[in-house]
Amino acid sequence: MILSNDPRTRRRRLGAGATVAGLLAALLTAGPAVATPDPGDAPATSKEVSPKTRAQVREAVAEGGIPGQDEIVHSANIEHLANIPKDALPGTNTDLAFQGRYAFAGNYDGFRIFDIANPKAPKTVAQVLCPGSQNDISVSGNLLFLSTDSSRSDSSCNSTTQPATEKSSWEGMKVFDISDKRNPRYVAAVETACGSHTHTLVPERRNVYVYVSSYAPSAAYPDCQPPHDGISIIKVPRNAPEKAAVIDFPVLFPGEGPDGGGNPGAPVNPGVSKTTGCHDITVLPSKDLAAGACMGDGILFSIKDPERPKVIDQVQDNVNFAFWHSATFNQKADKVVFTDELGGGGAATCDAAVGPNRGADGIYDIVGKGDARKLVFRSYYKIPRHQAATENCVAHNGSLIPVKGRDLMVQAWYQGGVSVWEFTDSEHPKEIAYFERGPLSTDRIAVAGSWSAYYYNGYVYSNDMAKGLDVLKIDDRRTAPAERVRLSELNVQTQPDYFD
């Protein structure tokens, strides 16, 4: 149950009312046969905690240090406008994309399309059942792209899980025609090495290039062999998407031997992920730049020729970063925010024991010019509110809030909620607003919270893994100028030039 409260009378002791609108829609199936949600594609399951930890969490809630179970709290400059619970797609909610009056929400069981013309009351337009972890989503023109990063029996939307050790198994990219938003049509499937955990669009007038990020190879996987130190590039003709195909697999971490040239991880660097590919890439087409979050490495590369990306700089943080997860440029392209997904998103890492520098954002300045540019570390940012020991919490997906002269960002922190923060001063980042719920459970770590929190045309949209789509409104002089910026399309990993 979601509890409503007045944020002016409810405050969190540590640091620093919701209208629930359940909208139902007819279920659309994408493909010739009806699919059923597949539990084999589920993300991390809940974890039991000790009786002592359960008692401590309940005590913290009783004393007001932690919000009550599912209780909503937020700063005074945030308004919670709407929540749309999950409906026909019971899986975990994932990423978001936007186009005109529509929001597109990924889910482990498929995707959902919302009409957000009235952000206070989003309406479901379509729900497409197409299971496949984690269904990372993006849109360009009449095309919608969906990542599949679980081994499937085939590429259809009624496939079942199948071991990656079998050569016939399929993972990769799916392409849908969304010219009719109420009836998306599945038009193409492209298999990629090690599947597609996430993807990033580099759109052009005639073609859309798709950078596919995947990792975790094994000698036992016929289609996912080590060292796998690169990305798949797919070329999709807009007028003939059925001809989509992989055109190259550039190696980003060249090196000799079976492990390639990325971070070797343990035992050389204990606690750091071995680099066997990239987790996520963000491109800034107006500047011909891309930033890659690649497990044990952060990279900066040129995409002047989108078919042949060229690495400019490579950095590591073997003290505080466990898993380089995602990246965000500031508008001037002289900074990059990298996130560290400590614990894989399923652990409670926003507490005093973990501290402020792990499971955080790393802020890097970009210095120099051209291919001589370098990433220079400046500081870490982490939400200032400690979370319960039953709340999975770590830095996750966010976007810029477009304000000239300031570097502002909204970001998801799983059960840490949504944080609005400023990094105009790279060495002194600070939070300016927040929204969160109390723990989903006080008995176990139940994976939940905001997967993605993005700013789009005056509002913040957060896709909560368990609770559904939240719509927030920021009322703050620092973010107010952003309300004048309007976009016709937004895929956050394809950053626009807001002021061009």
- 42 confidence band (pLDDT: 50, 70, 90): low
Q: What is the pLDDT of residues 426-462, one digit of tens each?
A: 999 999 999 999 999 999 999 999 999 999 999 999 9
Short-list 288, 304, 191, 180, CA closest to 244: 191
pLDDT at residue 264 greater than cutoff 60: yes
* Mean pLDDT for all residues in the chain: 91
- Mean pLDDT for 141-150 is 98
> Is residue 290 within 8 Å of 284, Cβ to Cβ?
yes
- Output the six-digit token pair for 20: 């629930």
> Is residue 402 within 8 Å of 500, Cβ to Cβ?
no
Name the least confident of 31-45, 63-77, 373-387: 31-45
> Is residue 76 within 8 Å of 8, Cβ to Cβ?
yes
- 37 confidence band (pLDDT: 50, 70, 90): low
Cβ-count burial 473-483 (b if 16+ within 10 Å, e if not): bbebebbeebb
Q: What is the pLDDT of residues 19-36, one digit of tens each?
A: 222 222 333 333 323 355
> Is residue 179 within 8 Å of 188, Cβ to Cβ?
no
- Mean pLDDT for 165-185 is 98
Q: What per-residue confidence (pLDDT) applies to 373?
A: 98
Q: 3-class secondary structure for the chain?
A: CCECCCCCCCCCCCCCCCCECCCCCCEEECCCCCCCCCHHHCCCCCEECCHHHHHHHHHHHHCCCCCCCCEEEECCCEEEEEEECCCCCCCCEEEEEEECCEEEEEECCEEEEEECCCCCCCEEEEEEECCCCEEEEEEECCEEEEEEEEEECCCCCCCCECCCCCCCCEEEEEEEECCCCCCCEEEEEEECCCCCCEEEEEECCCEEEEEEECCCCCCCCCCCCCCCCECEEEEEECCCHHHCEEEECCECCCCCCCCCCCCCCCCCCCCCCCCCCCCEEEEEHHHCEEEEEEECEEEEEECCCCCCCEEEEEECCCCCCCCEEEEEECCCCCEEEEEECHHHHCCECCCCCCCCCCCCEEEEEEECCHHHCEEEEEEEECCCCCCCCCCCECCCEEEEECCCCCCEEEEECECCCEEEEECCCCCCCEEEEEEEECCCCCCEECCCCEEEEEEECCEEEEEECCCEEEEEEECCCCCHHHHHCCCCEEECCECCCCCC
Short-list 350, 473, 349, 491, CA closest to 14: 350
Domains of the chain from N-terminus onward = 27-490 (2.130.10.10)
Q: Give dist(CA 361, CA 494) in Å, integer.
A: 19
Q: CA quadruple 214, 216, 221, 227: dihedral positive or negative? A: positive
pLDDT at residue 133 greater than cutoff 90: yes
Q: What per-residue confidence (pLDDT) applies to 259?
A: 76
- 40 confidence band (pLDDT: 50, 70, 90): low
Q: What per-residue confidence (pLDDT) applies to 28?
A: 37
pLDDT at residue 301 greater than cutoff 90: yes
Residue scoring higher pLDDT (9 or 243)? 243
Q: What is the pLDDT of residues 96-121, one digit of tens each?
A: 999 999 999 999 999 999 999 999 99
Establish whether the linkage from the previous residue to 429 is cis, with ω within 30° of 0: no
- 12 confidence band (pLDDT: 50, 70, 90): very low
- 211 confidence band (pLDDT: 50, 70, 90): very high
Residue with tokens 């590369």: 301
- Output the six-digit token pair for 102: 């529509």
Name the phi and psi angles at 55, rounded to 5.
Answer: -65, -40
- Mean pLDDT for 416-427 is 98
pLDDT at residue 14 greater than cutoff 90: no
Name the least confident of 41-50, 261-270, 439-448: 41-50
Q: What per-residue confidence (pLDDT) applies to 44?
A: 65
- Mean pLDDT for 316-324 is 98
> Is residue 384 within 8 Å of 436, Cβ to Cβ?
no
Name the least confident of 17-31, 174-188, 303-317: 17-31
- Mean pLDDT for 196-214 is 97
Short-list 27, 52, 189, CA closest to 112: 27
Residue with tokens 């923060």: 421
| Burial of 369 (C-beta count, 10 Å sphere; 0-12/13-18/19+) | exposed
Q: What per-residue confidence (pLDDT) applies to 19?
A: 27
**What pTM does this model have?**
0.92
Q: Give dist(CA 235, CA 371) in Å, integer.
A: 25
